[in-house]
Structure 1
């Protein structure tokens, strides 16, 4: 037995429910399940770890209140947790959530 689900109906119900609760429907049900809206950026940054003794240069390609997409030459060399210092001197503690060939996604902790 096959059960077919109309995705549009499910999304409409979900968004309608969130609207009544005061949530933003654009972020409440993003295609990637994100909670916060991302902003495209091209910020120079530094990955700092090992008590400040080790640093990797990187680029922040997008940024939100909860995390960032970081472009780095070798994401496997970065530890699972580190501090990210943006070019405007903001410093954020990060935890890696995923890695690809030359990028990684982090969540601010």
Structure 2
């Protein structure tokens, strides 16, 4: 069978298009969902630094579930009087990736 360049290119394009999309990393998602407007990795901005969150919840087996709920529903009082806004539009899967990213900073 003889392949032309255009046939070969079309075949390659179809193969690449069928690959699953690369998932966003926790770092990507925290930027995309504006978390970095209030949280720094190493420093407090409005909310606590991610590294401080990781340190506080180190060893807590329920941390992913607990923090995922806080990210989704918002909250206040743990880190001071300034509330964190709810993030209802962010998918549960993306929230889990972001929380696991933050907790891995320990």
TM-score normalised to structure 1 length: 0.30
Q: Which has the larger radius of gyration?
A: 2
Write 1 or 2 for the structure with the bigger share of helix.
2
Structure having the larger proportion of residues in strand: 1
Asked which structure has the greater RCO (Cα within 8 Å, sep 6+), the reply is 2
